[in-house]
Amino acid sequence: MKKALSFVFACLSPLYLSSCSVNELSQIDWKWHDLPSRMLGSFIFLVFMFTTFKPKIRIIGKIAKGPLERNGKATVPEGGVDEWYWFKVVNMNSFFKVHDLKFSLFIMEPHYSGGKNVMFDSIELKKSDMPFLKSLSTLLGKNENDEFACRIRTSVDLEELMGRDKSIRLQVVAKHQLSGLTSYFTKDFNIDDIEEGNFVSGFWGFIKSKGNNRRDRRL
Q: Which residues pair with 154 in a beta bridge?
A: 85
Question: Among 103, 101, 216, 206, which Cα is nearest to 150's?
Answer: 216
From first to last of its 219 residues, the chain has per-residue pLDDT tens of 444 444 444 444 444 444 555 565 555 555 555 667 667 777 776 666 666 788 999 999 999 998 887 666 666 556 666 789 999 999 998 889 999 999 999 999 988 777 778 889 999 999 999 999 998 877 665 555 678 999 999 999 999 999 888 999 999 999 998 888 899 999 999 999 999 998 988 878 888 875 444 456 665
C-alpha distance across the termini of the chain, in Å: 58
**Phi, then psi, of 51 in degrees rounded to 5:** -100, -25
User: For residue 55, what pLDDT is reported?
Assistant: 92
Model pTM score: 0.72
